[in-house]
Amino acid sequence: MRHITIVILFTLTFNFTYGQSQDEIVIRNIFDNVLLSDVAYNNLEYLCEKAPGRLLGSEESIIAINFMKNYFEKLSADSVFLQEFKTPTWRCNNTQTSILIGDNEIELRADALGPSPSTPKHGIIDNVIEVHSLDEVKTLGYENIAGKIVFYNRPVDMTIVNTFRVYGSAVDQRYYGPRVAAEYGASGVLVRSVGTRVDTFPHTGSTGFKDIKIPCAAISTVDANILSDAIKRDSNLKVKMIVDAEYFEEITTFNLIADIYGSELPDEYIIVAGHIDSWYNSPGAHDDGAGCVQAADVLRIFKELGLNNKRSIRAIMYMDEELFQSGGIAYAEYSEKLKIKNYLALEADAGGFTPEGFTVDASDSNFVIISEYQKLLEPYGINYIKKGGTGVDIGPLKPLGVPLMGYRTDPQRYMDLHHSAYDTFDKVHIRELQLGSGNMAAIIYLIDKYGLETK
């Protein structure tokens, strides 16, 4: 009996050690490959240089989709197709704002929020009122707000360590500010850019109108300070606002999908995703060109190294994360209709910076399985695998019971450039980018090999 126990123990230990070292070797091979590859980096350069401002419905968004489609085809992915869907969209042609002092106009650097309506051609000129919260607008009430341009100027809380939470400390003004101001009769809204630098770049973003739509724009933090100072000197200050934008009730657009089939369970899909769209004012290097080229690189890694995935690996370049989040909804609906077995979905949409970890939104038992892999990825920069929010595009798969994951990077610089013209290709470092592709490929390799608990 004792003899048998010893043999079993030996066998178990041997298998575990052997298995682990095999995984370590595969993961090492993945990183040997990615750290010598510039494919994803070159793809990103193309997206930023040839298709900047690739907002849903724009010509640039189609250039970007076609470029990545061509890439997957050249890679000889088993299946490459466009998943078509219909959605409204919006386009900004021009934003101009200025302070009027006597006969002088002092220009403020501004970018309209999506989907702001247009002003009349020559703009609106109204008194401006500075506020610091949504509640302040409600307290001031109709008599103080009606007919004025409301200027939301509460800065972000820079003392918070994680910049996604810094962003969260002020983004309510951008998302809800125009809606609340409109309810009290405001003629327009200007919002201090939600970012972590004091600079001259406006950071746009989506705003959530209800019934009444009024023109609205983000101004740079430097310009917000200039405007605030001008209001202090003249409480009757007037501001001029011009927005030239178009709203389209329905257009046809696409998510781009590329698969490499699994050898044993080809009808189960492990999704690796980013979003191909970016704001109209931005090359979208970190948000989210980086996530797209990394997700695409996972397919290249599996093919080049012959990793023999059991399940199919599906790269999705989602359209429209930024404006209406229609691509994520469209894929979830398509999945439901076709009864597609989405086994797991991993999204990269937190910038292509140095890897930090993965977040998981799944059952406790699957979280335990996935978090075990942190040790294997620690040498490559994965310091945590923890529960948390994952990705906007894959979110609609949650009600279908799909385990979700988000790839997380060092967040310190992300809100410097988010949704602005500052988010350029040169801000992305090739090694940081490549480490992301490697870690995403490695965790997908492990999840595919050992499986999750399925109900």
CA distance 350 to 47: 17
In the complex, minimum distance from the CB of residue 422 to Zn ion, in angstroms, rounded to a whole number: 15
In the complex, minimum distance from the CB of residue 393 to Zn ion, in angstroms, rounded to a whole number: 9
Q: Of 45, 60, 268, 288, which one interacts with Zn ion (CB under 5 A)?
A: 288
Window 151-190: contact mask with Zn ion (x via CB under 5 A): ----------------------------------------
In the complex, minimum distance from the CB of residue 419 to Zn ion, in angstroms, rounded to a whole number: 9
In the complex, minimum distance from the CB of residue 291 to Zn ion, in angstroms, rounded to a whole number: 7
Choose between 287 and 448: whose C-beta lies nearer to Zn ion: 287
Residue 393 interacting with Zn ion (CB under 5 A): no
Q: Which helix (H) or strand (E) holds 371?
A: helix 364-371
In the complex, minimum distance from the CB of residue 111 to Zn ion, in angstroms, rounded to a whole number: 16
Task: Tell me how far CA of residue 448 lies from CA of 358, 368, 434, 443, in angstroms.
Answer: 16, 15, 21, 8
Q: Which ranges constitute the DSSP H helices of 35-80?
A: 39-50, 59-74
Q: Of 287, 393, 423, 448, which one interacts with Zn ion (CB under 5 A)?
A: 287
How many other C-beta atoms can be found within 10 angstroms of the C-beta atom of residue 243? 26
Choose between 182 and 319: whose C-beta lies nearer to Zn ion: 319
Footprint of Zn ion on 297-356 (CB under 5 A): 349
Choose between 31 and 90: whose C-beta lies nearer to Zn ion: 90
3-state secondary structure of 217: strand
Choose between 417 and 446: whose C-beta lies nearer to Zn ion: 417
In the complex, minimum distance from the CB of residue 37 to Zn ion, in angstroms, rounded to a whole number: 24
CA distance 430 to 173: 35
Is there a contact between 345 and 404 (Cβ–Cβ < 8 Å)?
Answer: yes
Residue range at the interface with Zn ion (CB under 5 A); choices 39-47, 148-156, 253-261, 286-294: 286-294
Kindly state the tokens that stand for 119.
């002003």
Nearest to 414 by CA among 195, 171, 192, 168: 195
Look-up of token digits 């309506």: 117
Kindly state the tokens that stand for 409.
């990077």
Choose between 123 and 205: whose C-beta lies nearer to Zn ion: 205
CA distance 421 to 441: 30
In the complex, minimum distance from the CB of residue 287 to Zn ion, in angstroms, rounded to a whole number: 4
List 342's β-bridge partners, or say none.
269
In the complex, minimum distance from the CB of residue 277 to Zn ion, in angstroms, rounded to a whole number: 8
Footprint of Zn ion on 346-375 (CB under 5 A): 349
Choose between 196 and 309: whose C-beta lies nearer to Zn ion: 196
Task: Tell me how far CA of residue 450 lies from CA of 20, 260, 369, 441, 443, in angstroms.
Answer: 12, 19, 9, 14, 11
Choose between 254 and 414: whose C-beta lies nearer to Zn ion: 414
For Zn ion, how many residues bind (rule: CB under 5 A)? 3
Residue range at the interface with Zn ion (CB under 5 A); choices 140-148, 287-295, 403-411, 429-437: 287-295
Q: Which helix (H) or strand (E) holds 86?
A: strand 79-101
Residue numbers at the binding site for Zn ion (CB under 5 A): 287-288, 349
